[in-house]
Amino acid sequence: MNLTNAAISGVEMLIAFADRGHRTFFETNQFPWVRTLETNWPAIRAEFDPLMRDRDRIPNFQDISPVQAGLTEGQQWKTFFLYAYGREIPANCERCPETLRLLKCIPGMTTAMFSILAPGKHIPAHRGPYNGVLRYHLGLIVEGAPLASRIRVGKTLRRWREGKSLIFDDSHDHEAWNDSASYRVVLFVDFVRPLPFPLSLINRLAIWAIGRSDLVQDGFKALRGDDERP
């Protein structure tokens, strides 16, 4: 099932109207599960560290999502996926059992990965495809001056910090920088945006349909490393 662009735009308009859609960043204390992840961030970092030592084998972002190749090139942005649109990547999840357990505390979690930006990397301004999900970042490796690693969403600029969280609506124009001399790593999660019924049901149906679009299915096949459609 592939939704038309007009249908997606229509749902987005309803969501923006119902949920003050001009908000860029959200207060993390609105989401009780954030405290659980922040408390346990050292355990997540401990599972990530062995992956980082073998980072040359972690896929580049453009290898998973060729349609967004304009955002990056070479080895500058790597992504180690655990979930993609609600589907588990079994081989990767097996390597991160504690992270997997903590991710299951997030209601409506759809996508989760470790996002790794190389020193000097800038992700140019772009917009996420759909406002029915919100994005969560938990800082795992953030070094350098306070604003060396930062993200702009709309007109608001925030910085990452180790063990601290950001939640934002990535359907707004946004860009990111890592001007430090080290890698910047966050746990990157998309989760279903909380909405009142019946809009919540419409939103979940839209997410389900997007997850089964040809574009997403092709990316999922790339993550699985095979030609078999799930």
The answer as to whether 142 is a domain residue is yes
Q: What one-character DSSP code corresponds to residue 147?
A: T
Enclosing domain of residue 217: 5-224
Question: Which has the higher per-residue pLDDT, 54 or 3?
Answer: 54
Q: According to the model, what pLDDT value does residue 70 have? A: 75
Q: According to the model, what pLDDT value does residue 85 have? A: 83
| Nearest-5° Cα angle at 121, 159 to 148 | 30
The answer as to whether 230 is a domain residue is no
Percent of the chain with pLDDT over 90: 68
Q: What is the mean pLDDT of the chain?
A: 89
The answer as to whether 215 is a domain residue is yes
- Segment 39-63 mean pLDDT: 94
Per-residue confidence at 210, pLDDT binned at 50, 70, 90? confident
3 state DSSP class of 27: coil
CATH of the domain at 44: 2.60.120.330
In terms of DSSP H, where are the helices of 76-119? 90-94, 97-103
Phi, psi of 93 (to 5 degrees): -65, -35
- Segment 125-153 mean pLDDT: 95
**pLDDT at 230 > cutoff 70:** no
Question: Which has the higher per-residue pLDDT, 5 or 36?
Answer: 36
The answer as to whether 179 is a domain residue is yes
The answer as to whether 112 is a domain residue is yes
The answer as to whether 32 is a domain residue is yes
The answer as to whether 116 is a domain residue is yes
**pLDDT at 140 > cutoff 90:** yes
Q: According to the model, what pLDDT value does residue 159 have? A: 97
Domain count, the chain: 1
pLDDT tens digit sequence for 144-153: 998 999 999 9
pLDDT tens digit sequence for 101-125: 999 999 999 999 999 999 999 999 9
144, 45, 125, 152 alpha-carbon torsion, rounded to 10°: -60
pLDDT tens digit sequence for 57-88: 999 988 887 677 678 877 899 999 999 888 89
**pLDDT at 1 > cutoff 60:** no
Per-residue confidence at 187, pLDDT binned at 50, 70, 90? very high
